[in-house]
Structure 1
């Protein structure tokens, strides 16, 4: 048995048992993948996959155990590579960060700049997407660290820690009728068209839950994944915007937008950092996490990765 066979099995599972797609991802041929898997099954004396003719249909019971072991083996192989990279060049390499658009635009610039000042030979690679994409990128070793508000805690193979908390903010054009109210309610908001995030982004779940609990059906006329896009459509008069508070930092002097805190309407949200369980974390990855939040420390992260940490309260 060899690592090539292990990678073929792992990629076949990742690609929903589609060997053609697995072969494309691994830059090889489909017959080669199929042959390697059959040879591994012969050597182990079990069927990893149940087949109908030549087509793979599902994982067998022993196959699930084989895949679990393969995942561990390949994870440790990746760890060996990272250890070698770190000790060969301790102050250089690439930090791959998976995150959402809002985090990349409003939260990460300062810590990324601090990292580059501390490790000038480190290159930063940003991968932006939905929270579930962020999770998958970390799990598939595309990224060293993931940062998002939703989804990360739903994956048992991710180790997550709270990074910072935040609230939503209303953005309105000057002179809007709601600005005359001392305290805006959900009922007040529901009377106007709203512009906010796509349902899978930036705390949208809390927004929907807040309205639902009051039996209200808000008029959401536009959904977007980017806070700047939301603010643009508010400026055009499309409706009242609901964005993350970090998206209005620096807008205090804006002549065409007025911001109002909405934590009393939608509660607080927690952004989390995620690492792949069992992964070896290079020193600059740990340092970057410390730059993200003074609540995160190298020791806390390592204890949590080893199973001895606790999910502290913000």
Structure 2
């Protein structure tokens, strides 16, 4: 059995037994993963997965033990490689980052430019996801660092390090009836207008729906998207009032929109870095976290990645959009 076979096995499990998704996550072909799976089952002499035709539908009891061992072996090897690279000062190869579109477009470009300037042999591989979309296990386990957002006091699962806080803002075209609400748009007013916002905000248990329901209000969504750029386009086209992350507002947007504070009842959002479990954190990943959150100490970040997370992190600062 080879390390590649173990990696394929773990990727298949993390992809929900979907070999196509596992192959995409590993940047490999589906036939290649199928061959590796067949080879490891032949070597072991039993099936790891139950099947319906060619489809994987479950994990056998013996397969559970194999997967547990495979995950531990892959984690140990990756950890040793990261540790050795840190010890040698060898900062090269790929740095895999999974992040929401908002961060990928509006936060990371300047930060990654500084990171690559410091580590010129580093190659960043960015995997964007929709704002508020859940991170798949296959993406989380294959990434060196996962960035995500939560609203209110919710803390995500895993080794989570808070980076900074941000709020949502209201966008309306110049000349819109709400453009003079410079002190902000309250929920009652917002409920009177069709909203254009993130797909995640229209889910029944989103913080937006919950705070409106608490005040006896019901939002009307005219359109939703996973990317702030699309939301702006639809607001510009007259589909409704926009509600986006303040991080996504650029200087150029002020030529087309009036940017207004949203009702403070809509809770702040927190940006988090989710550290890989069971793996040594690479130096560039630590540096990236500190570029995003200078208040954090590198020693505390490393201790957290090694399972010594503090009982409570300091309250993160508000992101400086300038």
Q: Does 1:36 align with 2:68?
A: no
Q: RMSD of aligned C-alpha atoms? A: 3.3
Residue in structure 2 matched with residue 188 of structure 1 by the alignment? 189
Assess if the C-alpha contact under 8 Å between 1:128 and 1:134 holds in 2.
no
- Taking the TM superposition and a 5 Å limit, the aligned residue runs for 1:174-253 are 174-181=174-181, 182-199=183-200, 205-251=206-252
Assess if the C-alpha contact under 8 Å between 1:138 and 1:144 holds in 2.
no
Which structure would you say has the larger Rg? 1
Deviations for 1:162-186, whole angstroms, at most 9, x for unmatched residues?
1111110001122322234455321
CA-CA distance at 1:269 after TM superposition: 0.7
CA-CA distance at 1:267 after TM superposition: 1.4
Q: Aligned partners of 1:116 and 1:93: how far apart in 2? A: 12
CA-CA distance at 1:88 after TM superposition: 5.2
Residue in structure 1 matched with residue 309 of structure 2 by the alignment? 309
Q: Aligned partners of 2:73 and 2:215: how far apart in 1? A: 50
Residue in structure 2 matched with residue 136 of structure 1 by the alignment? 137
CA-CA distance at 1:5 after TM superposition: 5.0
- Taking the TM superposition and a 5 Å limit, the aligned residue runs for 1:42-57 are 48-49=48-49, 57=57
CA-CA distance at 1:149 after TM superposition: 0.5
Q: Aligned partners of 2:106 and 2:196: how far apart in 1? A: 19
Assess if the C-alpha contact under 8 Å between 1:8 and 1:37 holds in 2.
no
Structure 2 gap segments, 5+ residues each: 317-322
- Taking the TM superposition and a 5 Å limit, the aligned residue runs for 1:52-91 are 57-87=57-87, 90-91=90-91
Residue in structure 1 matched with residue 297 of structure 2 by the alignment? 297
CA-CA distance at 1:264 after TM superposition: 0.8
Assess if the C-alpha contact under 8 Å between 2:197 and 2:242 holds in 1.
yes
Q: Aligned partners of 2:128 and 2:104: how far apart in 1? A: 7
Assess if the C-alpha contact under 8 Å between 1:171 and 1:243 holds in 2.
yes
Assess if the C-alpha contact under 8 Å between 1:41 and 1:48 holds in 2.
no
Q: Aligned partners of 2:255 and 2:8: how far apart in 1? A: 57
Residue in structure 1 matched with residue 320 of structure 2 by the alignment? none
Assess if the C-alpha contact under 8 Å between 1:98 and 1:137 holds in 2.
no
Residue in structure 1 matched with residue 108 of structure 2 by the alignment? 108
- Taking the TM superposition and a 5 Å limit, the aligned residue runs for 1:103-182 are 103-130=103-130, 134-136=135-137, 138-141=139-142, 143-150=143-150, 154-155=156-157, 158-181=158-181, 182=183
Assess if the C-alpha contact under 8 Å between 1:116 and 1:122 holds in 2.
yes
Residue in structure 2 matched with residue 265 of structure 1 by the alignment? 265
CA-CA distance at 1:128 after TM superposition: 0.8
Structure 1 gap segments, 5+ residues each: none
How many pairs are equivalent? 304
Deviations for 1:27-85, whole angstroms, at most 9, x for unmatched residues?
5374663353143256xxxx755578998653244532332222011111122333344
Give the TM-score normalised by the residue count of structure 2: 0.80
Deviations for 1:91-133, whole angstroms, at most 9, x for unmatched residues?
3333221111111111112211211222222222211113556
Q: Aligned partners of 1:299 and 1:88: how far apart in 2? A: 19
Q: Does 1:93 align with 2:93?
A: yes
CA-CA distance at 1:218 after TM superposition: 1.6
Q: Aligned partners of 2:232 and 2:90: how far apart in 1? A: 42
1:8/1:95 CA distance change after superposition, 3 Å: closer
